[in-house]
Amino acid sequence: MVKENLAKTEERIKAACERSGRRPDSVTLIAVSKTKPVRLIEEAYEYGIREFGENKAQEMKEKYDVLPKNISWHFIGHLQTNKIKYVVGRACLIHSIDSLHLAEEIDAYCEKKGLDVDVLIEVNVAKETTKSGINLEETEELVKSISRLSHVHIKGLMTIAPFVENAENNRMIFRALKDLSVDISRKNIDNVSMDILSMGMTNDYEVAIEEGATHVRVGTAIFGERNIVV
């Protein structure tokens, strides 16, 4: 089942790339395996997937420890400072930085351990009060502050768009994030790149690709519905 779903998802990614004049290899599929057992991750791994997304620090650590080391783990959930130790050194990219305080705590941990970490700034484009992420208007200021840290390296932006029936309703959200990343990129801030745009989930990843996503985070379409609410 997982393999068929992956083939279908890759097909749709390719089609979205073609529609928007992009190369298929310009989009990375992150298989979001949160709440799903190791057995299903192994199925996706056999198919050839090497990028997985998790939103709970300890769950990511447990899966990291038992699965092949050539997997790239993306941490996509809200990160509490007391869980930094589970994520830094294991995740290739933390998608969910939304405060200077969190970035400073990560930097201090990295300093202690002799590590460096790549991160994205999570932007709450739709200003949903239930979601984390910094407001669009405050993002550049936060990027500048974090850019001064020695061990935390900003590689781009991430957003979680609202849940909508019709993905078209999120198009302007994705476009706004892309515009912001172009604006910030033009500022040529030291220690900041805007190469990555992490946006699009099961319901709207095709629209996100049309609007410039470089990384899509797809869970349900690959692994099926999740039983528990996360």
Ligand X SMILES: *Cc1c(COP(=O)(O)O)cnc(C)c1O
* Site residues, ligand X (CB under 6 A): 32, 34, 55, 76-77, 160, 201-202, 217-220
Q: How far is the CB of 188 from ligand X (least distance, A)?
A: 29
Can you read off the two tokens belonging to residue 83? 């869980």
3 state SS of 61: helix
Q: Which is nearer to ligand X, 151 or 174 (CB)?
A: 174
Q: How far is the CB of 202 from ligand X (least distance, A)?
A: 3
Q: Which is nearer to ligand X, 33 or 139 (CB)?
A: 33
Q: Which is nearer to ligand X, 79 or 160 (CB)?
A: 160
Neighbouring-strand partners of residue 28: 215
Question: Which residue, judged by CB position, is nearest to ligand X in the bound state?
Answer: 219
Q: How far is the CB of 161 from ligand X (least distance, A)?
A: 10
Q: Which is nearer to ligand X, 126 or 218 (CB)?
A: 218
Beta-carbon contacts of 18 under 8 Å, excluding residues fewer than 6 positions away, are 24
Phi–psi pair at 154, nearest 5 degrees: -75, 125
Q: How far is the CB of 95 from ligand X (least distance, A)?
A: 7
Q: How far is the CB of 222 from ligand X (least distance, A)?
A: 8
Q: Which is nearer to ligand X, 102 or 149 (CB)?
A: 102
- Is residue 218 left, alpha or beta, with left meaning phi > 0 and alpha meaning psi from -120 to 50? beta
CA distances from 212 to 101, 117, 142, 181, 215 (A): 29, 24, 22, 10, 9
CA distance 155 to 151: 13
- Residue among 47, 50, 145 at smallest CA distance from 92: 50
CA distance 162 to 184: 24
Q: How far is the CB of 101 from ligand X (least distance, A)?
A: 20
Q: Which is nearer to ligand X, 5 or 149 (CB)?
A: 5
Query: Angle at the Cα of 53 (from 9 to 46), degrees rounded to 5?
Result: 60
